[in-house]
Amino acid sequence: MPITFILYYCIFAGAVVVSFLDISFALHLKPLHLSPILVGAVFLISGGVYALLSPLLGYILDKTGWYKRSMALGGLLALVAFSLMGPSPFLFLPKDSLWLNIVASVVLGISFCTLLIPPLQELVTAAIKSGYPENLDTYGITSGLYKSAFYIGTFAGSVGGGFILDKIGFSWTALIIGLIGVSCTLLLALYGAVKMFCFKATKDGCLI
């Protein structure tokens, strides 16, 4: 099922976004001459937003079923966050603004939630639709897929992001990472369009 590969990529991309911030944010904040306590506080913002919003988002998704919409929103928010944090070379924003980094961190925390929470349930749904039984073995397989995508993305974000950061600087690298995030939005939009066309073109739709 194509949706499985799209979900795998979205998990990978979300992990790239998270891991790149871990290795680069402290260096990015260095010109602001913050105390270690303030640097730690700014670091906590995105994680704190993620922790606070995760239960609420899970409840909303269980009620609405908007899993793919949530991931699409998360990818878009990743681009917005990194464009502000960089800031993007195409935006005329101050480079050494603490408040801009705080706003970007809040947006990034929301992005983490909306991009990384829904895929596991979507993987389970895809597995059941493709014929897997709804039991612990299926949940184990989907959990393994999720973790493998996440850890590969963490490795790629740390190593690849660090390499690119060393070559072209934070602003451009942040923009690239943001584009990786928004590529999830584009893939999900393409998937939705293909699925709608397939459903209209055949009597029973298609299992994608």
pLDDT tens digits, one per residue of 53-89: 999 999 999 999 899 999 999 999 999 999 999 888 8
- Encode pLDDT of 138-151 as tens digits: 899 999 999 999 99
Please state, in angstroms and rounded to a whole number, the distance separating the CA atoms of residues 143 and 73: 23
pLDDT at residue 202 greater than cutoff 70: no
- Encode pLDDT of 93-112 as tens digits: 888 888 999 999 999 999 99
Confirm whether pTM is higher than 0.85. yes
Q: Among 3.30.70.360, 1.10.1060.10, 1.20.1250.20, 1.10.10.10, name the CATH number for the domain at 2-201.
A: 1.20.1250.20
pLDDT at residue 43 greater than cutoff 90: no
Please state the domain extents for the chain: 2-201
- Quote the pLDDT of residue 114: 93
